[in-house]
Amino acid sequence: MTYEQLVVLHAIVTEGTFRGAADRLHKSQSAISHMLKKLEAEIDMVLLSREAYRPKLTPAGEVFYRQAIRVMQQMNELGSLAKTLNATQEAEVSLAIAATLPLQRVLEVIGHVRAKFPATHIHLSRESMSGPIERLLHDRADIIIASMDGVPVEQVEAVSFADVTILPVAHPAFEPAQSKHMKTI
């Protein structure tokens, strides 16, 4: 079975006649009939009833046709993906972020990137402590969002993304928290 045979089946069903399918596909009516017969012979199933003036899907043909439409859509998506990947778009990007970073802003940026580059798959991981920089330095992340603590600035390119305020919190009974210098909220 070929993609072209599925296209012929689709054209016959949507146009309602072999002549209409032939006109739509710029082929002879005999070529359309031959391709459909070849498809039916390959799958050993009658897809279209030819008893009436207009061909009609058989019950098995209806099930086959629904799946054929899905396959054709997937083939079109695959073709679009191939064109996109042949452009300057990355196939995959690995992003590691510090666990202390609020996730909402990151997800907004990822949403904008996905809208502009839908074929790029983004792998997101949240890391603790020096996890993001370790992933970057060991080639397990393409981009990280983390503090600059412990980052070898000569090995990376850095751009400010967000300010994060970290508030230390302790139970009031914790001895260091009872110091006069600690502020209670």
| One-letter amino acid for residue 102 of the chain | P
Question: Which of 43, 38, 48, 42 is closest to 10 using CA atoms?
Answer: 48
Render each residue's pLDDT in the chain as its tens digit; 185 residues. Answer: 999 999 999 999 999 999 999 999 999 999 999 999 999 999 999 999 988 888 999 999 999 999 999 999 999 888 877 776 676 777 788 999 988 888 888 899 899 988 888 878 899 999 988 888 888 888 899 988 888 777 777 777 778 777 777 777 778 788 877 777 766 66
Q: Are 15 and 24 in contact (CB under 8 A)?
A: yes
Tell me the per-residue pLDDT of 71-115, one tens digit each, with 9 for 90 and over.
Answer: 999 998 888 777 766 767 777 889 999 888 888 888 998 999 888
Question: Which of 126, 134, 179 is closest to 152 using CA atoms?
Answer: 134
What element of type H or E holds 5? helix 3-15
Q: What does the alpha-carbon distance between residue 69 and residue 80 come to, in Å, rounded to a whole number?
A: 17
Domains belonging to the chain, first-starting first, are: 3-86 (1.10.10.10), 89-185 (3.40.190.10)
Q: What does the alpha-carbon distance between residue 173 and residue 6 come to, in Å, rounded to a whole number?
A: 74
Three-state DSSP at 51 gives coil
Q: Are strands 143-145 and 92-98 parallel, antiparallel or unpaired?
A: parallel
Output the DSSP codes for 76-130.
Answer: HHHHHHHHHHHTT--SEEEEEEETTS-HHHHHHHHHHHHHH-TT-EEEEEEE-TT
